[in-house]
Each structure stands twice: as C-alpha cells, then as structure tokens.
A and B are shown apart, each in its own frame.
Chain A
Amino acid sequence: MLMAANINFNVDGLINGFWQLTIDGLSWGAIYALVAVGYTLVFGVLRLINFAHSEIFMLGMFGTYFCLDVILGFTPSGNAYNKGVLLTIVYLAIAMIFAMLVSGSAAVGLEFIAYRPLRRRNARPLTFLITAIGMSFVLQEFVHFILPQLIKGYGGSNAQQPILLVQPKAQFTVFGATVSNVTLVIVVSALVLAVATDIAINRTKFGRGIRAVAQDSTTATLMGVSRERIIMTTFLIGGLLAGAAALLYTLKVPQGIIYSGGFLLGIKAFSAAVLGGIGNLRGALLGGLILGVMENYGQALFGTQWRDVVAFVLLVLVLLIRPTGILGESLGKARA
C-alpha cells in the first residue's frame, strides 16, 4: 500500500524503550492531568466545556516567563543557569506561585466577564460553548497582537526566547530507564498538587460545597451553599493548577511559550478528562497519566509525526466504547 510507507510498526522500539517511554510519558501525563482537573471541575459544576481553559494555561506560561525575566532577573540566553539545587527550587517555587496567580486570576476573570452574564440570562448550553470559543480567540489574539504593544518583547507571532533554569540531566535509573531532574520535578510537584487538590475537594468545607453543587445545584442552594461562590472557587482551583502545569511545561519545553501554545495541550488535557470520566477529579488525574503514557507508546510504535493523532484517536475510541470514561462521570457521586 502507498499509505503504509508513512506509518511504521516499530514493535521492537516499543519493547526495548518500554520503561523509558513510560517514565517520559508519566511526566507528560502529569502536566495533562493538572490541566485536565480544570476541565473536569468546571464541567462537573456547570456542565460546560471550558474551551478557554487552554488559554488560561497559555497565560500561565507567559506568567512564568514574566516572573523569571522581570521579577527574578534571568535574561534569556542559550545556556542554562546553574544556581545549585536549593536555590533553583526556590526560584521555581516563586515562578510557580506567580504563574498560578496569573492563571488563577485569569480564570476567575473569565468566569466573571463571560460566563456569569450568561448564567444570569439562563442561556442554552450551546451559547456557553460558543462564548468559550470566543474567549479563547480573544485571549490568544490578545497575546498575539496586543501584548507586544503593552510589554516590549512579549507575545507576538514568535515564541519567547527560552530561559533555561534547569539543565536536563540524568539523576538515577529505574528498570534501566533514566530519570532526569526535569522529570523528577514535574512528577513530584504534580503529585503534591494532585494530592492537595484531592484533599481540598474531598475533605474541606469548600470541597463539600463543590461536590454538592455538582450533584444537584438547586438543592445545594437550598441547603445554604452559595452557588456563585462555589463556581468562582471552581474556576480558581482550575486556574491555579493550570498555572502550575504551565511552569512544569516550560521546564519540559522551554521554547514552547507562544500565543498558540495552549491550544493543542488543552484539547489533549480535555481528552484526558474524558478518558478518566469527565466531572470526576481522580478520573482526570488518572486519565492524564494514561494519555501521556499511551501517547509515548504510540509515538514509538507509529513514528513521531503520529503523536497527536494517537491522542485524538484515543479520545474518539474512548467516547465510542465507554463514553462515561474509566472511573465514571460524576464529581458528586465519586465520593458522595
């Protein structure tokens, strides 16, 4: 067949590199998982696909860059900075907090400007989705054309000059697969954030409110839960995690800070949320990890250029075979 020439079935490559692919896949999956939480929480509470969440993530990347560049005073250069382990961790933590603040406030602002007026008007679900697409346009094009007018050297058609804070370096090996410091940072911080979010949703008063609104918003309101405040918190949590994911992503892909850089990742994170069962917090985390790993396997099996196709085909297959995802759908019922 003519077409077969472009698709290879490199089974040996998959088997030989299995553990390395798994480890790298987990670090991708950790990023997907953090972004997926934002989709899943908002969907659980509002039944809305927050299409603009990928742009919240993108703003987080710019927030990271701004913090490193202006606040912490790193100038972009081809070489990595070597500040020692402890100091690097401190710098990363500051940048992460800043990125989280940027993304978190952007998410809340998005909710306030775009979605709240619609809720007040009892708009149809399609209207919400179209608004989300519109906001996605607005945020992308803002960074594309308006931001360079406001802050010199930011935004525009090209990616930002990378600032390398951490030079990828092998730390130790597991099952013959090397684990780099970048992978370690990504997986550990994602794990910490995931556990923190899980506790916040399942153990705190606010988390109970979120689950209550997701289960039955009218009854929750009658029981004294402030629906508007819960919705705002939900957007805030999603935004904070997207900001953290943005910092981790820039460690992995330093040259990826561009106005259109969130789009594809957003769709994949959404796929991850659907994979695990949209509306379900633990599902999103699990789905993210599975998607990251599967994508890497697919890339090894079929070739690098098919990486994105693997993610989309996986999404379509999951929706066809088990539309409710691996862990089932409901945020409210997951831990009632």
Chain B
Amino acid sequence: MSHQAGSETTKSTAAKRLLAPGDGLRQWWDGLGRPQKWLFGIVGFGLLALLPLYPPGFIDTPGISFGGTMAQFVMIAIIAIGLNVVVGQAGLLDLGYVGFYAVGAYTVALLTSPDSPWNKMGATGFFSKDWAWLSCVPIAMAVTALAGLILGTPTLRLRGDYLAIVTLGFGEIIRLLADNLSDVTNGSRGLNQIAYPRVGESERLPNGVFSAGNSSGDANYGTWWFWLGLLLMIGILLLVGNLERSRVGRAWVAIREDEDAAEVMGVNTFRFKLWAFVIGAGIGGLSGALYAGQVQYVAPTNFNIINSMLFLVAVVLGGQGNKLGVIFGAFIIVYLPNRLLGVELFGVNLGDLKYLFFGLALVVLMIFRPQGLFPVRQQLLAYASSAKKLLSKADDSKAAA
C-alpha cells in the first residue's frame, strides 16, 4: 500500500517536472548564497557572451549571421524585460509597446541622421561623431519615458481591457505619425546613416567594430552589438530586480492580483501603475535606441503593430512576471524564425510561418499552461528571505516532531 502511494507521488512529481522545466533549476538557485549567485551569474553571462565567437554547430543559424541573430535577441530581450514590468508585474496589458520602441529609435535617428532637420551631429552640431550614439541613449530613454507618462496619465484610470485597445491605438498612431510627418521623419523613406559608437577604428575597419562594414567572421558588428546590448541588459536586469524586491514591486504584485484590494490596503494604485508604465516605456526606448544604432536606418514599416504582438508572445511564452523566463521567451521568438530561415516544407518557407506558429503556441499555451513556460513563483515578498528562513525552520521542527 505504502509502496504504491510512493510510486504515485514520484509519477506525479515527474509529470510536474516535465511541465515546469524551471523548478529544479530554481530550487538549486535558491539554495545558493549571495556571492555564489553572483559568481554563477557572471560565469553564465560570460558563456552567453562567448557564444557567437564559438557557435556550436547545432545552435548556429546557417541562413543568417549568428552574431546578428544574437544582437536581435538581446534587443528583444530588453524589450521583453520592459514589457514584463508592465504586463507581468503590474498586470497592465499593453498592446502598443512597439510605439515606445519606435519613439526610442526615432529619437536617436532624428538627432543624428543627416536626413533629419533636427540633426545635431556634424562639424557644427552639438554631438561629436564619436559619442553621438551613446549620448543619445539617455535622451531616447527620457523622451520615451515622457511619452509613457503622457500616454499613461489619462489612460491608466481606464479598465484593463480598454487600456489594451487604447495602447494599441497609440502604437498605430506613432507609426502613422512617423509615416505622415514627412518633413521631419522623411516619411516612408525613413532616416539613414544614424550614429553608432566609433570604437576600435583600424585600417581594416575605418568606421570601427560597430559599423556595418565589420561584417565578416564571428566577431562581426552583430556580435559587438550583442555584447553592448548584453551589458545594457544586465544593467536593466539589476535595476528591475531591485525594483521588484522593493516597496514598488510589492505594490505592483498587489495591483496585479487584485486592484481593489490593493487600493483598500492603501496602495496608491494609479501612481504605481503609472510608474510601471513609465519604467517599461523607458526600457522600450533603450531597446529602440540600440536598434536604431545597429541597423543605422529607421522606417515606419519596422514598427508595425504586429511587432507588439510578437513582444507580447515573448513575455507570455517565457512566463509573465519572471524576468529570466521572458529573456528565454525572447530568445525563442528571435532564434526560431532565424534558424528556420530557408528551411522548406511542402513548398512553404518555415521561416515565414513564424506568426502562425507563435499564434498557435499562444492559443495552446493559454489553454494548457496560461502561466507560461517558466512561471513566476508566488513567494513571500515582504521581509523576503528572513520570513522564508523562519518558515522553513518551522517546517523542519514539525518534520522532526
């Protein structure tokens, strides 16, 4: 009898483990001390950084530069982290996130592209050629955060499902503005020759390692942008992680779980929702600035509303609320289409079918696993680790007795 019960529990835990691939990893991670966590984190990100230099055969993307794919991945990962603050942490469905991405990209483009009337780069301009991109990044983040504030202030008082549609409209309005205000944005022709960091200039690479001219080998400009993006992503991760563990993060979770209850408990819901919205917008702007720098060209078609949905897929797939999970989600949505590029099945290019697959994945996931592949764990947020220790001690004593 007892034997049978035992086998049943092992079976159910095996099934559970299959459904929650992150649980074992998380348990191991929780058992580590703080210095160990830092050590493993540094080693892990170091290995990730080395990936494009020594791409293992089974991961490599034959159809397209692997460094470029990784650069794209890290940009989408930053977006996913930002969107995760809005959707996963605060529970606000934002369908127009691509609008913030566009604002960030266009801010950099308008300030540094020679096609733009507001170009501040050049011999007499405010920015020097070498530092133009880097100095535009904080400006882009600030402008985007301001856009978030302007959009959020009136709309965050609305019900959740209305917010989704208003943000959708906002994303579309931004794209239409970029298309229509052709005196400033050059319309559908877009803005060319956007600034990028000038580092490592040499005979072979007169414009530095970040220029599109550095296109051969494993350490091409995509790889360099990946490294730069990875550094920024780690910074954003630390920032967002600290916010999550603070009073702000607890307020977000409270709002997500039950807005009325949070309000009754004295959480200023509107203010914290606005915070989430603005911080998320700023992070989106950062990613947009990265994009503008890497591609050195922005046009309205790059900011179609369908990209917003794709960002949302990354967050939902990875697990809303779990910032490492959404990075994994971002990896999937960037890597799979690039990997499948050029692979044909029944005369259809599998790389083209990405939206079909992601749509199916969303539908199936929502039915069978709405919390995503790596769901956020419900944990004691107040008094974090001390409370956990106290509880586990109580559990131990109970087990001993």
Which residues from chain A sit less than 8 Å from chain B, CB to CB? 2-3, 5-6, 47, 49, 113-114, 117-118, 121, 123-131, 133-138, 140-142, 144-146, 149, 263, 267, 270-271, 274, 305-306, 308-309, 312-313, 315-316, 319-320, 323
Contacts and interface: CB of A to CB of B under 8 A. Distances in A.
A305 B366 contact: no
A146 B362 contact: no
Contacts of B158: 319, 323
A124 B320 CA distance: 13
A315 B166 CA distance: 7
Given A3-B181, A131-B366, A133-B312, 8 more contacts: A5-B183, A128-B366, A134-B359, A135-B359, A138-B359, A145-B353, A315-B169, A316-B154
B106 to A, nearest CB: 13
Q: Determine the main DSSP class of A at the interface with B.
A: helix
B353 A312 contact: no
In this complex, the member of B93, B161, B182, B363 whose beta carbon has the largest number of chain A beta carbons within 10 angstroms is B363
Interface in B119-134: none
Contact of A267 (B172, B347, B358): B172
A35 B172 CA distance: 20
Contacts of B353: 141, 145
A240 B184 CA distance: 45
Contacts of A146: 348, 356
Query: For the complex, would chain B's binding face be called helix, strand, loop or mixed by DSSP majority?
Result: helix
B161 A125 contact: yes
Contact of A123 (B155, B180, B366): B366
B243 interface: no
B288 interface: no
A316 B159 CA distance: 13
Question: Which 5 residue pairs spanning A and B have beta carbons closest together?
Answer: A137-B359, A134-B362, A141-B356, A312-B169, A138-B359
A138 B165 contact: no
Contact of B180 (A129, A141, A306, A315): A306
B394 interface: no
B180 A138 contact: no
Interface string B93-127: 10100000000000000000000010000000000
A319 B170 CA distance: 13
What range describes how many residues of B lie at the interface?
Answer: 35 or more
A267 B172 CA distance: 10
22 contacts: A2-B117, A5-B183, A117-B367, A124-B370, A126-B93, A131-B366, A137-B355, A141-B356, A144-B355, A144-B356, A145-B348, A146-B356, A149-B347, A263-B305, A270-B165, A274-B162, A305-B180, A309-B177, A315-B165, A315-B166, A315-B169, A316-B155
Contacts of A267: 165, 168-169, 172
Contacts of B346: 149
Q: Which has the most chain B C-beta neighbours within 10 Å: A3, A130, A319, A320?
A: A130
B318 interface: no
B240 interface: no
Nearest to B350: A145
A106 to B, nearest CB: 15
A306 B179 CA distance: 10
Contacts, number: 130
Contacts of A320: 154-155
A243 B38 CA distance: 58
B173 A313 contact: yes
A3 B184 contact: yes
B367 A121 contact: yes
Nearest to B184: A2
Interface string B322-361: 0000000000000000000000001110001101101111
A299 to B, nearest CB: 12
B348 A118 contact: no
B164 interface: yes
A6 B182 contact: yes
A10 to B, nearest CB: 15
A284 B195 CA distance: 49
B373 interface: no
B76 interface: no
Contact of B356 (A2, A142, A263): A142
B91 interface: yes
B176 A308 contact: yes
A12 to B, nearest CB: 22
A129 B356 contact: no
Contact of B362 (A2, A131, A315): A131
A319 B179 CA distance: 25
B162 A137 contact: no
Contact of B183 (A2, A142, A274): A2
Contact of A134 (B95, B164, B363): B363
Contacts of B309: 133, 137
B370 A123 contact: yes
B281 interface: no
Nearest to B370: A127
A137 B312 CA distance: 12
Contacts of A127: 366, 370
A108 B155 CA distance: 33
A298 to B, nearest CB: 13
Contacts of B348: 145-146, 149
B160 interface: yes
B183 A135 contact: no
B321 to A, nearest CB: 12
Contact of B360 (A5, A138, A315): A138
Contacts of B154: 316, 320
B213 to A, nearest CB: 32
